[in-house]
Structure 1
């Protein structure tokens, strides 16, 4: 089972001599200031990340996060010709750059976006949500809806970069649990190469804080999972959910943006040092993840105030060193 890191600077990874298999970075924005403008010529940021991954002996991974350009959950761009033209041009550029790189690359398509569109859909059918698709020359035969959008992403990937491996992330929103798998099937997510399984975009302790800090404002409880797997929520339940996607889509699972917090008996924590137990549990129960269809797990911070490899007291270094001494074999 592979182990990766995301949203970490190359120098920070090198400073600890960390051994990782996957190196993930976000691609944000459409229009002015979007990721193609971060380096010159346009789109060269892909090569920068790929070179850093090479330096670490890792496979580069890109998390395409363009649909949040107008704000998280704002889907107004789907019917805006200017936005969608820019969106598709960026997607095409990404895969052209990946082809130039010439070695395997992983791409994660639009976290959370699919959940927001599902909430707008009728009978959990992505073909009922409008999106401008077939005005793009590479997808002229596809429908103008979210199902067509998902198919277009895969179609462009296959056309321009046969060395790219792509995956869709089911949105693990509580209100969608019962219908999310069917929605992903209707999207055509089974035509991708892997499933992106999200855990939590913040450390559990950040949501436990009273009062919650501005960057962890979310209702609910049960953020810190039960490692004894007796009380709910727990890890056994989560792995069963992952297995349901693995079985339903017939694809391997890659966990992504898994928090780096350190376990504690005391709820909460502080900025950069919020508690969480997913890193410890995942890397000491890798065979359970493989049994759930797991291919690998990528750890990263979902927000700058979360625990990172620089603030975890060496936990990630210790856990990965111990794991790599006896890694879990894939079937």
Structure 2
């Protein structure tokens, strides 16, 4: 259910900072194979009752994603609690449904736009046009408390990129707890979340108001899970770092590399009809090949304090992605550099700040 793009050359091995990116530092090495997971999102023609329970006929007839894995992929053990998602769409909304196994459901945060991942949470990341800029993030805890924001760029490409004063207009979020919340005296089965995001809220960054047949978006999901102790009949977080479980593995503990997210393909077909095959993306391997130029230029600048037009200097004489035509044309610009590859009748371009697009 997922595609694999063979990576012929490793990225430069470098140290990196965690937190919100590694702005001003060397780029990390990707230690897992680039293999974004894929999902076909069907269009429902029946009304959806958003109540967190995922028992509408359209949900029942939709396929679950693969179970979540650790954010670092096969570098870490599989999660000890299961998480899966489904997606649907209609003329009004993009729907998401997730089920999370959890024997002790708890939450503390109730203020809109609080830093929700300080609780256990479920997170959605959407880059509709796949340019790695102007993407959406939504986090929800078991209290249905939301934190929604637009990222103008990833944190590593510029400072002050998060617009967290923005709220998704018309957002619907509902949580169902299969058990009791904040009650350590019993064992729960888990919690589910159902989310409806209006297309109107996504139109600024989406290629079309409604997805076209076969249109593909960069998408990922994350679940943050904290260890807790039960102290005086209350849940208390331990000092252990959180677990980060995701749909499509990133290879490092950092969600804000949209180039590494999975691919969601939209279809007008209903979930009852089903059986639409995911079409291997022609453009994603080209973007991934150009991304290697971006990585190498970042680290070259870190060492030399200038960029280069030389693929030899970047150690990219040979194509980094099998089957992608090479070499690109690299030009230095007043703001840094651009690299371009011909594709079909178009050109795919990537520039200094990581934005990649087709022109």
TM-score by length of 2: 0.26
Whose strand proportion is higher, 1 or 2?
A: 2
Q: Which has the higher contact order (CA 8 A, sep 6+)?
A: 2
Whose helix proportion is higher, 1 or 2?
A: 1
TM-score by length of 1: 0.28
Bigger Rg, which one: 2
